Amino acid sequence: MLVRVALHQTRLRTPGLGLDAKGVALGSKGVVLLPSLDRLVAFLALFTRQSSLEDILRSMKVEIVKSKLGAREVVISLAAEGSDRMDKVAEIARLAGGFTFTGTTRHFVQYRDGGAPFGYDVAELLAQDASYALYHTSFSQVYTVDRPIEVRSLLLRLEPQLDPSTADEPGPKWICAEKGLGPALISYFVRSNVDADVGLAEWAAESSFDEGPVQRYLFRVEQIPDRMRPLLTSTPGIAVFQPVTEGVGVQLGFRHPVNLRACPVFARDGLVLFRGGDEPLEIPTLPALGPVTAFARVELREDVSTARTQATTVSRPANIQLTLRMVPTTDPWRGVTASWVRPDEMRLLRRMAYLLGAETLRRATVAFTEHGAFVRLTSGVEAIPVGEFFREVHPGLFVPAGYDPLPAVSPDVLHKSIGAPQNVVLFVGRDARVIGIDGAAFVSLESALLEAQDWALLPAGAIEPALATEVPRLVLESPGFRPMRDIGPGGGDEGG
Amino acid sequence: MARDLSLRLEELAHGLVGPLILGGTAHLVAPLGPELAFELGVGRRISDDDLRSRIDLARVRQARAIAPIDTLPDISPGEWALIAALNDLLQATNHELSSPFTRGRHITLLDTTERLLAAIEGPRTTIEAIVRHATFARIFELERTDTLVSAWAGTIDYRGQEPEKSMTFWPGLRRVRVDPRKVPIQAMADGFDALPTARYVQLLTELVSRSPLTDFATIERTSPPFAWTRATLELVSYPTGRTLASRALSKLHSQQVLTVLQAATRALPPSGPARPIAESFSKEIVERATATRA
């Protein structure tokens, strides 16, 4: 049914199939046919190990399809974009036991392979109205769509696999504790001076027989001390989760089969916690989180109310609130870890980027806003001498280097007075105007710098024979009739 | 006749030259003799473009190991004659060449090969020395697999051939034991009654001496031992040749190289022009080895 597309061929029979710049037969869509759901999971797992689903997710559609004989298979359709993307998809599909096709509407021919480097065209179209007519060198089959599959719900249904190597991973953690254990855990953290935030998440009752909504305590801990780890991971009712990407956590000791970092399907303002051996916990919107220190035991003095009364009765100004101002200071600069590169200095930043060392590029982060670029480098932003320098006076709060806030309140108080959420990075300008930037907007400087590069795959096969030369081996065979005929007269054929 | 010679050249290229340079299984052609050997390469080249280009590539690779060279001329008539000599010499070890009534063929073939080698001169230019080495660099890698098959009924030694299937079936019942062993080129005449081993080795030495750089590059071989020849002495008698020879030796174990060179130098007559040349080259190699160690 299929014919190979020849070099310089211009006309193709398959509707919607054209030739790209390299001469490869390509439609606007690519289709991957997989025999079962587990192969689909394998495909996703393999794909996300190498690259992000973000590029293809917008156009990706996963459907269960049914052949005329009733067999159900899985079809992934996605925008083909170009043969580079399709080559990668085809390679991964082949590894996952699937076939790759390309086309535009309904008729999809097999994507190019080693046998046909320019792809295939169909000799005769199938006269069917089915959603997919797939033409392969070994079969031609039509499929109707049975039902669609949402990638998000598929990922939620996949159970995490045991992976003890994740148990000791450092970094921030989410902890989910049953309601009864929450207060004990809070006081434990307060006693142990662990820097943690706590919130109370609520899930609707599963049935009318439940007493009410299910409540669980949710903790965000920057760093769990090693001594607490065994207790937290082994206590029933407490589960520790490793954040794998924004809004997603996987229980310690487990690993999700698909690389969730490469699957931007979960809302960033919510939280999904994948539990090993149990259903995932989904929180559509993060509950309000506050520091556990707010729950520390308080003791009230008897004379407090009296003192306050006295104060109010003596002289209390109507309003003592002051406008924040920034004033120059002669104190030495410390902790200068950010700079604000205004739009007119962006060209200088670009030129400077060529001179920066690899380590600086790797460690620096940058956020681009309409007011310019904000560069952060924890080891000291002096390495990037562009823009106005800022020093970090409080986690997430920067003031201009060489300036101090007036009134001289503590940075903690200043931060609280601004009242910004925790993940917002604040820059207080010399004019005391505050600019807030979402912490997620800061990306690595090295990844922000480079434009997409043109590249081409060079065949590496030519060097291979040179490195794997065989040993010359002699085999002895009969030299044939009258072997000594060329030796000349008396060549020994007369015998001896 | 010309067409016949082209066919023979092509046969020789596919059967022996290709495997010798590129590796793989070598199949000998019928003995060529001195007359045909000299005519073979005159005005002819390998017509299989793919094979020729692969051979050229591999030869350049060999040549670049000792000299910064990007292209090599085609295989010359002199080289074809040497290849024919190698074919005939190896064919002399082929027991299939003769029947019990024509065993004299092996000696006849050695005689004609000796005549042929005597007529081939050593390289006259530096590039010729490099070209010959590029072709014959792997000559001592050539090997044959002999298989000793033992069964309850007896033992058969297959020289350079696969054992017959009838000898190896029912291995458990017939207590078949297959014992393959690799035979290097210098030992291919061993155990073959129709061929005097010493003469075969002597002719192999003659053949290798026609490519002096190969002679130096394989100086560590156990048999035939390295000995100074007219071609090797000529090569080290001028600076460029000496440089090439020392590069060919530089990849080998210096201590072993020095031992072999000194033994070969001692074998030269004390009087005469050869010994001072050999001694000065040995001295140069010693100095280089000392400088490298320092």
Decide if pLDDT at A453 tops 70: no
Answer for the pair B114, B107: CB distance below 8 angstroms, yes or no: no
For strand A18-19 and strand B154-158, is the pairing parallel, antiparallel, or unpaired? unpaired
**pLDDT band at residue A465 under the 50/70/90 scheme:** low
Domain limits of chain B?
1-141+195-218, 143-187, 219-294
The pTM assigned to this predicted structure is 0.46
Decide if pLDDT at A249 tops 60: yes
**pLDDT band at residue A468 under the 50/70/90 scheme:** low
**pLDDT band at residue A451 under the 50/70/90 scheme:** low
Mean pLDDT of A216-245: 88
pLDDT number for residue A316:
45
Q: Could you say which of A472, A476, A487 has the minimum Cβ distance to residue B161?
A: A476
| Residues 449-468 (A) with a CB less than 8 A from some CB of B | 465-466
pLDDT number for residue A291:
86
Nearest CA in chain A to B142: A472
pLDDT number for residue A311:
38
Closest CA to B134 of B221, B58, B80, B69: B58
pLDDT number for residue B3:
61
pLDDT number for residue A492:
52
pLDDT number for residue A188:
87
Share of chain A above pLDDT 90, in %: 19
Q: Around Cβ B254, how many Cβ atoms within 10 Å? A: 16
Mean pLDDT of A416-437: 84
Answer for the pair A77, A148: CB distance below 8 angstroms, yes or no: no
Q: Which helix (H) or strand (E) holds B213?
A: helix B212-217
Q: Could you say which of A472, A484, A488 has the minimum Cβ distance to residue B24?
A: A472
Decide if pLDDT at A457 tops 80: no
Decide if pLDDT at A206 tops 80: no
pLDDT number for residue B33:
92
Cα–chain-centroid distance for residue A423?
18
**pLDDT band at residue A444 under the 50/70/90 scheme:** confident
Per-residue pLDDT of chain B (294 residues), as tens digits, is 556 889 999 999 999 999 999 999 999 999 999 999 999 989 999 999 999 999 999 999 999 989 988 889 999 999 999 999 999 999 999 999 998 888 899 999 999 999 999 999 999 999 999 999 999 999 999 999 999 988 887 888 899 998 888 877 777 777 888 899 999 999 999 988 889 999 999 999 999 999 999 999 999 998 899 999 999 999 999 999 999 999 999 888 888 899 999 999 999 998 888 999 999 999 998 888 887 765
Tell me how close the Cα of A461 comes to any Cα of chain B, in angstroms.
Answer: 14
pLDDT number for residue A306:
39
pLDDT number for residue B144:
94
CB contact under 8 A, B24 and A488: no
Mean pLDDT of A462-472: 65
Q: Around Cβ A235, how many Cβ atoms within 10 Å? A: 15
| The length of chain B, given as a count of residues | 294
Decide if pLDDT at A111 tops 80: yes
Please state the ipTM of this predicted complex: 0.88
Map residue A187 onto helix, strand or coil. helix
Decide if pLDDT at A328 tops 90: no
Query: In angstroms, what CA-CA distances link B210 with B57, B87, B132, B187?
Result: 22, 15, 8, 20
**pLDDT band at residue A490 under the 50/70/90 scheme:** low
Share of chain A above pLDDT 70, in %: 89
**pLDDT band at residue A305 under the 50/70/90 scheme:** very low
CB contact under 8 A, A479 and B105: no
> Residue B111: what residue type?
D
B160 touches chain A (CB under 8 A): yes
Decide if pLDDT at A25 tops 60: yes
Mean pLDDT of A63-75: 91
pLDDT number for residue A304:
43
Contacts of A492 in chain B (CB under 8 A): 102, 104-105, 107-109
C-alpha gyration radius of chain A: 33
Contacts of A469 in chain B (CB under 8 A): 22-23, 58
Tell me how close the Cα of A468 comes to any Cα of chain B, in angstroms.
Answer: 10
Return mean pLDDT, chain A.
Answer: 83
A311/B228: higher pLDDT? B228
Decide if pLDDT at A100 tops 60: yes
Mean pLDDT of A211-235: 86
Tell me how close the Cα of A472 comes to any Cα of chain B, in angstroms.
Answer: 4
Cα–chain-centroid distance for residue A491?
80
